[in-house]
Structure 1
Amino acid sequence: MFGIYSFPSETKAKEECKRIRDKYIPDGRLTDPADDVFFRALVDEHRHREEKVGAGIEYFQVRLNGSLRARTGNYGVWIKQYGVDDLIDFGYGGVISRLANAGGARQEHARIDRALRLAIRPITDEFLSTWRESGRPLVSCLSGETMRSGDAIDVVHDVPRWGELVRGFIARFAELSAIETRRLDQSLGEIIVSDEIRSSWIQYHRDHAVLGLSTPQENAARSRELA
């Protein structure tokens, strides 16, 4: 979820923070180097990182939130900056929630991406088959190199690229959840549940996509450039 740390859920991440915090209640400074490194990694994910780090983090301190003008009377983990007498509020729970929400959004995009790819698979398969049957040279649209008929060949989205095409289509929907999908066997991916949405996507793809050929290596390198 952050740094070198990974948790199966937002709840588990918060439980780990609480476990560390509880070791130092009621008014303790975090002394275990592993605990210190853990919270520093979490601070690095804060949207106001520069403000929280200041001239540098000297140490973390557990204090009763109410004594430091925080919203609740629970204990929290606070930041002691170099050169600053007052402790700085942290709010690690909010950081974890934001990271979890971002992860959820990525999963939503991945889910929809799989379903959209599968929906237009017959189109890309037909494109490659028709090109091979035409006897035209198998020229990569990415490098201009001619490929041999026995080579592994990928069908790629030349202009616009796949990511741009997908973003353009899903922008039509107020929420990603509006594009409902159903997971099939791992080898089959995911399908769009709504026939109307699937048909709309296929038509959108026909209207906007420009397909081309490339080697798998070129396609993979192109994907890394966008990462």
Structure 2
Amino acid sequence: MTPKTGGGRPWGPIRAENTAARKLAETLRRHVDDSGKTLAALAPEVHMGKAQTGVYLAGTVPKEAFIVALIRATVRPDLRQRREEEALALREQAMRPAPRTTPGAPVAAGPGAGYAVELAAAQARQIETYDRLTRALEQRAEVERAKNNSDKLVMVLLNMIHQLDRRVAGLVAERDQLLSRPRSEALEDAERKLVRAEEQEQRARAELRRAEEKQRQAETLEAVLQNQLRRLTDELDRLRAGDTTSPLNTLPPLPALADEAEAGPVSADPVGDDIDAVLARVSQVNDEDNTTLNRLSSELNEPTVGVVQGNPPDKPQRAPATGRPRTVPKFSIGPRTWPTKGAAGDAIRAIRDAYNVGDTVDKPEDHALVRDLIELHPDAPEKIGCGIDSFVIDQPMRGRHSGFKIVRTDGTQIDFSYLSCLSPPNHRAQVLAAMRGETAGTTTAYFAMRAATNTLTSDLSGTPLDANDPHVSHYQGPPFVDIATQFATTTGGWDQIELNSTTTAGYAKFKDRALAQQWVEHHKTHAVLGLLTAQENLRRPH
């Protein structure tokens, strides 16, 4: 095969009638290679179709006007005159080859066995390049489908988020109006819908980020494929230049773009179910397109981006096979964490439904969870009062759903709505959680001191304690909440304490570190710590 020249892409064999014609074709090809232009881009500049341009570059002696136009299009101005004169001189020689004067002298080079070998090799390359071009076109079609899907998803999700914002605002107003009717079925229904709408908004925003990331990934792949298609098309044009017997003439046309898949059916249930169905479809499309784009990135040796594989309802998002994992919003009650607020609500309802009305929540793990839950209530201090002795399943005030009731250490009782605890925590609850985190070092040091002095027994009952399950309590002095409230009052109120974002442990920290140290010292001054068994600690104010 004719060797590659400066451009790096191969040409088909030259079929010239004489040595000068061959040299002219080689010269013109070299100018094309040096210019970096494709045959498709060059054709209008030489006022000639791509096919006829290929014929002239394959050894047929071109017209003088073609040579002049090609030199002008491919050679820099300061060299054009000289290169034009050289090419026209070769054309003159090719048009009037020197006659054979000496008997037995070799005949001027022309097509023969060598050309047949070159032609066969070039046609084999044509088939290979055609296959690569076909695959690139299929890949571009897949990228276009994924990009179109992402474009549509972005528009759908932006509209959905706007609608969900309005729905959340409406449900908040509805809930606030019903707060005067505690534990009514209407209040529980409004709060349940609010929790669900907030989760749906989180999911919609997460899917929007995925769709926008896939838009960017698809645009990158589209540019890569466009460049690849341009290069492969030019390579095929070069290999077919002047070849009237190309095997591609018998091959099927390149594949057309496949039709886009239709979206799945949408649920006809009420508003919340409709939104869940749409989000599930959005997540499915995002997953499918993400798989497609990552596969094509791998095939094209492009780095994949960190697109999350899936986000099904009430399940934690998975990290992609390649790329960095994404942070998934979580909901915490004490030290326990759930992927969503809805999942946390399911855990609370499972406890409520496991007991009959009037039963005491007596399993330690159930009591501990409900004990931590009440700390999230907007009126937690009033509900807890002097301290919690136990929780009882209360009969429904209205409707069919039972609830929880607190039995205080002084024997008084009060009910509370667990859904109010699952609403977004107010600033006071967030500061209280941060305060517990800031004083963790104090309680840890106290337990270490007790362990070092071999006094790991309950200060209330004398029961030996498990060294792996410490329970440091404020039971001998003011409760933790009272100490914290006193400190907040000295700073001007809860709203004056600013917090940073939550840490990996699930707690925020004081933004003002000097104020944090003041709080730790205040706690050390007023807290009277002691050790209790797990059961004893669960029934004392924290």
Q: 4+ residue stretches of structure 1 with deviation over 4 A? A: 101-106
Is 1:221 paired with 2:380?
A: no
Work out the CA distance in 1 between the residues paired with 2:450 and 2:429.
30
Deviations 1:152-185 (A, max 9, x none): 2211113011111111111113232210112323
Shift of 1:12: 2.6
Q: Which residue number in structure 1 is paired with residue 508 of structure 2?
A: 190
Does residue 535 of structure 2 align to residue 210 of structure 1?
Answer: no
Map 1:138-217; keep pairs closer than 5 Å: 138-141=456-459, 143-150=460-467, 152-157=469-474, 158-217=476-535
1:213 CA displacement: 0.7
Which residue is equivalent to 2:446? Answer: 127
| RCO comparison, higher one (Cα < 8 Å, 6+) | 1
SS of alignment partner, residue 490 of structure 2: coil
- Secondary structure at 1:109 match in 2: helix
1:12 is aligned to 2:331 = no
In the TM superposition, residue 211 of structure 1 has moved relative to its aligned partner by 0.7
Paired letter, 1:125? T
In structure 2, relative to structure 1, the CA distance for the partners of 1:180 and 1:131 (3 Å cut) is same
Alignment match of 2:181 (pick from 31, 44, 47): 44
CA distance in 2, matches of 1:174, 1:150: 40
Q: What is the aligned partner in structure 2 of residue 22 from structure 1?
A: none
Q: CA deviation at 1:127?
A: 0.6
**Larger radius of gyration, structure 1 or 2?**
2
CA offsets, 1:175-227, max 9 Å, x none?
3221011232352411111012111101111211111111222222224xx9x
Contact 1:181 1:193 in 2 (8 A): yes
CA-CA distance at 1:150 after TM superposition: 3.9
CA distance in 1, matches of 2:439, 2:493: 22
Aligned equivalents of 1:152, 1:165: Cα separation in 2: 25
Report if aligned partners of 1:114, 1:189 keep a CA contact under 8 Å in 2. yes
Counterpart position of 1:49: none
Q: Residues 23-52 of structure 1: CA distance to partner in whole angstroms, max 9, x if unpaired?
A: xxxxxxxxxxxxxxxx8x56636xxxxxxx
- What are the superposed Cα offsets for residues 129-156 of structure 1, whole Å, 9 maximum, x if unpaired? 11101122x2323x32322344522111
Aligned partner letter, 2:472: V
Question: Structure 1 140/178 Cα, relative in aligned 2: closer, same or farther at 3 Å?
Answer: same
Aligned residue type for 1:135: N
Letter in 2 for 1:147: P
Q: Report the Cα distance in structure 2 between the residues aligned to 1:13 and 1:117, rounded to whole angstroms.
A: 29
- Identity within the alignment, %: 20
Equivalent-residue separation in structure 1 for 2:180 and 2:499 (angstroms): 36
**TM-score in terms of structure 1 length:** 0.51
- Aligned with 2:478: secondary structure? coil
In structure 2, how many angstroms separate the alpha carbons of the residues matched to 1:117 and 1:135?
26
AA in 1 matched with 2:516: R
1:117 maps to 2:436: yes
Residue correspondences, number: 138
Q: Which runs of 5+ in 2 are unaligned?
A: 1-166, 183-377, 380-419
- CA shift at 1:115, angstroms? 0.9
TM score, norm. by length of structure 2: 0.23
Deviations 1:95-136 (A, max 9, x none): xxxxxx977996212101111111111111011011101122
d(CA) in 2 for partners of 1:116, 1:126: 16
Q: Given that residues 132 and 149 in structure 1 are in contact (C-alpha distance below 8 angstroms), is that contact kept between their aligned partners in structure 2?
A: no
Higher helix share: 2
